[in-house]
Amino acid sequence: MTAHESNEAQVNFWEAAGPVWKKEQEQLDAQISPHGSKAIEVLAPLAGETIIDVGCGTGTSTFQIAEEVGNGGRVIGCDISSTMVDAARGRAASLGVSNVEFVAADAHTHAFAGDADAVYSRFGVMFFGDPKGAFVNIRTALKPGGRLCFVCWQPPTLNPWVTAPLEAARKHVELPFGNDPRSPGPFAFADSAWVREVLDGGGFADVNLEPFEAQADLGPDIDAAVQFVMGINPATAGIADRDPEKAKALFADVADALRPYLTDKGVQTASATWLVTATNAG
């Protein structure tokens, strides 16, 4: 199976997810920005650098890095979903950010220019059909000595923002992502030994993983959190229109599952990631 064939399901998945990510951008950023921002701090972009943001989505982290590299630098967001890339380009235009560009491309196969000082990703590298092959290709984006820094989720057991609502939802709908812990999906890189194997296989040196924890903000109240977590899951997005009766029972169970996480700052759960760094030894 070629990388392209193995990735067809991912292309379809992320094209379909694009409109939801656009709609929920603010809440998604509230949930995952603490992790993405920590990874940018670890990457430590320098003024004037060229940095590639792999799986950039609608571009939030691309814009953050663009501020760090300044007008003498540039950030190239690469995403397999043209819907995400179109949204990112629209945001760049409305924000007036000129040191970014976006390409709709598969990181497995894209012919990178090879002039990047660093490659970054905020949760954009766990969806590869062929992870080792993808990282062989990603390394070609980097100059000798170039840096890699990405953030990915630790196991679901450390991330109740996903397990609590999904366990409740499972009673009502079939959920995506297979049972193979390494199959493409949010938790494909939860196993640190596997991440090392993938990056070693990709020819990276100095591979390091640091655990990081932050509160995941799911919304100001239970109703908002239910709408958010069900809206970003393709199995349940739009269910209130498709099947109002089922949606009522589903939302009630998910609300019960989230209630223990209601705080005076809204619905917040623990969330745990790996901050992964490596270099291109050349």
Ligand X SMILES: C[S@@+](CC[C@H](N)C(=O)[O-])C[C@H]1O[C@@H](n2cnc3c(N)ncnc32)[C@H](O)[C@@H]1O
- Which parts of this chain interact with ligand X (CB under 6 A)? 7, 10, 14, 32, 36, 54-57, 60-61, 78-81, 84, 106-108, 122-124, 127-128
Nearer to ligand X (CB atom), residue 123 or residue 228: 123
Nearest CA among 137, 139, 154 for reference residue 195: 154
Instruction: In angstroms, give the least distance from the CB of 10 to ligand X.
Output: 5
- 100-104 vs 74-79, strand pairing mode: parallel
Q: What's the token pair of residue 72?
A: 């003498």
Q: CB of 156 within 8 A of CB of 190?
A: yes
Nearer to ligand X (CB atom), residue 107 or residue 169: 107
- How far is Cα 232 from Cα 273, in angstroms, rounded to an integer? 19
47 CB burial (10 A radius; 0-12, 13-18, 19+): exposed
Instruction: In angstroms, give the least distance from the CB of 1 to ligand X.
Output: 14
Nearer to ligand X (CB atom), residue 49 or residue 79: 79
Instruction: In angstroms, give the least distance from the CB of 105 to ligand X.
Output: 7
Instruction: In angstroms, give the least distance from the CB of 62 to ligand X.
Output: 8
Nearer to ligand X (CB atom), residue 222 or residue 230: 230
- The contacts of residue 237 (CB under 8 Å, 6+ apart) are 20, 230, 231
